[in-house]
Amino acid sequence: MTKRAKGFFAALIILTVLLIGLQVVTTPAAASEIDYRPLGEELRDYLVLQKGLYGLYILDIKSDEKLGINELEEFHAASTFKVPMAMYVYRQVAGGKLAPKQMVSLSSSHMEGGTGFLQFSTPGTRKNVDELVRYGIVYSDNVATNMLLDLVGKKAVKDYMILLGGDVVNYEKNVTCPKDMAIYMQEAVRFAGENSWGEKLLSHLRHTVYTDRIPNPLPDVPIANKIGNWPPTGTYNDVAYVEHSERPYIISVFSRNTAGYNEAVRVIREISRRVYAYQSSPALKVGLTLDDKDLVLAEQPFIVRGVTLVPLRALADAVPEISLGWAESTDAITIRSNLNGVKKQVMLNREDEVEIIKGRSYLPVRDLCRLLNLGLVWNPEELCINISTSGSVDNWSLLN
């Protein structure tokens, strides 16, 4: 019985999406934001070669840009569930509804194997709420988690997950999705910025003893993370807040039907390594104007490794004087232009510098201008390119 909710909230969400959708078309004002299209293509190409199913969600803290791959797919949450559970408990403490020093007695019904050391304690052992949260996060203690759930109620925690925006929440099963878990970690970061109990939770996450996945290949930067394992389904997960010096981000990686622990951990580490490297040198969105007039494209051009790529279909849709054709037999793209009354037609083959990202064709703007006999001017401060129908064809070299 997977949740979600009520007509008013559904309508509100739909209205919000529609309002946001009005701003999806891009202008130069939206420039300088990170663009995840190249990274998404790279990670999809990598994951299709791996055994099992992986889902991931990346959120850039500064720009709120997101990347998802199987992000709404249902996975076993395993111990990543302890993130929203611990946050709910500390929220109750912060709100004065629960005393941090309140004692909880261990009973035989709380006993569970796996991670943690309270499983070796005897019934009747007493621990306070604050201690139990630390055990549950730092040591992933299953018994501590059961004691807390017995105290606050599993339903209350699941209700809280829905309140935070969780889409995959089940009152009978311990399931989630990569996007939801990233949302919970993002809320933990917000909580840390507004309350000392939130900062304490983030500190526990920074000091977990399980750092074999997302943190493993990264340099010495603060990382708050929580892993989860469910071997019966080949599930090995990790969710983290990586405090990258330039572009902090949240990353959530889930899996199932993998070849086992070693292989899944190798894949998660490789994903983590690639994401961190991308955050260090990302593609950035670029604004585009034609004869100093803003071009509104459904997909924005972006610059990566010094090359600005323009989405051809989006450009043709925005500029009536440009049209595209495609020959299925040769897989060639034809660009026809009638800008400023000058007719031009060029044909591009796949071996030309055409990039295919999620089935869409991109061309370096310098090549586009050269082929169509257009000039351009690059504004590095505003990350904006002006294409000129009357400029010199040699101006395209200004990009280099």
| Domain stops at, among 231, 253, 280 | 280
Per-residue pLDDT of the chain (400 residues; tens, 9 = 90+): 555 444 434 444 434 433 433 333 444 434 368 999 999 999 999 999 999 999 999 999 999 999 999 999 999 999 999 999 999 999 999 999 999 999 999 999 999 999 999 999 999 999 999 999 999 999 999 999 999 999 999 999 999 999 999 999 999 999 999 999 999 999 999 999 999 999 999 999 999 999 999 999 999 999 999 999 999 999 999 999 999 999 999 999 999 999 999 999 999 999 999 999 999 999 999 999 999 999 999 999 999 988 999 999 999 999 999 999 888 777 788 999 988 777 888 888 766 678 888 888 999 999 999 989 899 899 888 899 999 988 654 444 444 3
- According to DSSP, the residues that pair with 297 across neighbouring strands are 26
For the chain, the helix, strand and coil percentages under 3-state DSSP, each to the nearest 5: 40, 25, 35
- The verdict on 331 and 253 lying in the same domain is no
Q: Identify whether 7 is part of a domain.
A: no
Q: Supply the DSSP symbol for 69.
A: E
Q: Which value, to the nearest 10 degrees, does the dihedral of the CA atoms of residues 103, 106, 107, 112 take?
A: 140
- The verdict on 232 and 85 lying in the same domain is yes
Q: What are the E-state strand segments in 92-198?
A: 103-105, 126-128, 175-176
**What is this structure's pTM?**
0.84
- The verdict on 204 and 70 lying in the same domain is yes
Longest dimension (CA), the chain: 87
Q: Identify whether 35 is part of a domain.
A: yes
Q: Identify whether 10 is part of a domain.
A: no
Q: Which residues of 195-213 are buried (b: 16+ CB within 10 A; e: fewer)?
A: bebbebbbebbbebebbeb
The residue range of the domain holding 252 is: 26-280
Q: Residue 370: CB partners within 8 Å, gap ≥ 6?
A: 393, 396
**Could you tell me the two tokens for 197?**
């109990």
| Domain stops at, among 280, 306, 340 | 280
